[in-house]
């Protein structure tokens, strides 16, 4: 459970870092009505990710954890849900100050934060290379900011995998940076194919494979 909490916290924190960067960069470099819209989205992202990280910090408070643990024990459907996703809720006896140590600024926090940042950079790098593959020369920072703004919108989408919302936001933001629409549409479809659809069959295979491995391990334990 602590791994899930740490992963979620650093995920939102990484997006907060790039949202702040995008907001500051747009203020310093870009001007005009379009940049005003982009600024609002970046500002919304800052507020959103601060709120989400704050909620996670509240979740890790000892009193909150004990309260949640008690509610889960009382409701059978919550127990079933946690068992279904194989999520182990921490026992009451380990809800001590040692649990709070995960938030200290050390390698346990900085390493996952670094890799979360690199995931966003890698996504932006993919977009950057795709545009250059079509001989559309863009600044890498534009690719990074466009990806950051797109991910902000995808966070509030109601569709699985942010379908339609992600693609629409990506097209909107990159065209707002002055990239021709037809190139943006092609790059958006290619990026989603590479990052979303292509890994899906591999993910399904390994999910089933790891499920069998876990079942065999539990049976032998």
Residue with the larger pLDDT of the pair 5 and 142? 142
| Confidence label for 33 from pLDDT (cuts 50, 70 and 90) | low
**pTM for the structure as a whole:** 0.78
| C-alpha to C-alpha distance for 160 and 77, rounded to whole angstroms | 23
Q: Residue 61: pLDDT band by 50, 70, 90 thresholds?
A: low
The answer to whether residue 199 is domain-embedded is yes
Residue 221 placed within a domain: no
pLDDT band at 71 (very low <50, low <70, confident <90, very high): low
Residues 173, 73: Cα–Cα separation, whole Å: 46
Summarised one tens digit per residue, pLDDT across range 148-201 is 999 999 999 888 888 899 999 999 999 999 999 999 999 999 999 998 888 888
Q: Taking the CB of residue 29, how many other CB atoms lie within 10 A of it?
A: 12
152 occurs within a structural domain: yes
Residue 86 dihedral angles phi and psi, to the nearest 5°: 55, 45
Q: Is the pLDDT of residue 221 over 60?
A: no
Q: Is residue 37 part of a domain?
A: yes
Residue 120 covered by a domain: yes
* 219 found inside a domain: no
Q: How far is C-alpha 153 from the chain's CA centre? A: 11
CA separation for the pair 202, 212 (Å, rounded): 16
- pLDDT tens-digit profile of 77-116? 566 565 655 555 555 444 444 455 555 545 567 888 999 9
The count of domains in the chain is 1
- 220 inside domain: no
**Region 19-39 average pLDDT:** 84
Structural domain of residue 63, as residue ranges?
A: 2-214
Among 46, 3, 40, 1, residue whose Cα is nearest residue 21: 46
Tell me what the pLDDT averaged over the chain comes to: 81
Question: What would the pLDDT profile of 37-48 be if each residue is shown by its tens digit?
Answer: 899 999 999 999
Measured CA to CA, the distance from residue 47 to residue 122 in angstroms comes to 24
CA-CA-CA-CA dihedral for 55, 46, 1, 95, to nearest 10:
-40
63 domain-assigned: yes
């Amino acid at each position: 459970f602590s791994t899930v909490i740490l992963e979620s916290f650093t995920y939102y924190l990484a997006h907060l870092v790039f949202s702040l960067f995008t907001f500051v960069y747009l203020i310093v470099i870009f001007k005009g009505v379009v940049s005003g819209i982009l600024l609002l989205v970046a500002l919304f992202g800052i507020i959103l990710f601060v709120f989400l990280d704050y909620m996670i910090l509240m979740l890790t408070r000892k009193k909150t954890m004990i309260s949640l643990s008690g509610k889960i024990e009382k409701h059978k459907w919550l127990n079933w849900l946690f068992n279904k996703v194989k999520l182990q809720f921490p026992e009451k006896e380990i809800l001590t100050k040692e649990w709070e140590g995960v938030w200290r600024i050390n390698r346990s926090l900085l390493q996952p934060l670094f890799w979360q940042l690199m995931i966003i950079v890698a996504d932006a790098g993919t977009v950057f290379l795709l545009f250059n593959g079509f001989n559309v020369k863009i600044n890498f920072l534009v690719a990074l900011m466009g990806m950051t703004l797109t991910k902000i919108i995808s966070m509030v989408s109601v569709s699985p995998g942010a379908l339609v919302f992600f693609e629409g936001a990506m097209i909107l933001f990159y065209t707002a940076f002055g990239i021709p629409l037809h190139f943006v549409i092609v790059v958006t479809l290619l990026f989603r194919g590479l990052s979303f659809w292509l890994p899906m069959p591999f993910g399904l295979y390994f999910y089933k494979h790891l499920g069998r491995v876990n079942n065999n391990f539990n049976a032998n334990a």
